[in-house]
Amino acid sequence: MTADAPPELALQVKRSWWSQVLSAETASRFPALAMINWFEWNKFEVEVGADVDWTIARDDDTLAAFTRELPGWLRFAPEADPCASPTA
């Protein structure tokens, strides 16, 4: 999705992306899958010759739709302990 796409189209395309990645078929085909990492980037993609906006969290409506549509088979890691300050 190019960075200048209308918000409605951008949401539709991103919904297609996450629907494929987070599908029940993905969980079934890859039962040992332990992590899915989403690119929260707006970056140049050679394949389309333009910037592609991969972000979800920048737009409140997109983030709300994404959160609402997360599948039940996902497991979330516990909160990480904060890193300690380095000692001098």
SS3 category, 31: coil
Q: Is the pLDDT of residue 71 over 70?
A: yes
The H-or-E segment that residue 51 falls in is strand 50-53
Helix (H, G, I), strand (E, B) or coil at 52: strand
pTM: 0.69
pLDDT band at 16 (very low <50, low <70, confident <90, very high): very high
Closest CA to 73 of 21, 11, 14: 21
* Average pLDDT estimate for 28-38: 87
Question: β-strand 42-45 against 50-53: which pairing, if any?
Answer: antiparallel
Q: What are the tokens at 15? A: 């919904």
Q: Quick one: pLDDT at residue 3?
A: 60
Q: What is the pLDDT of residue 7?
A: 75
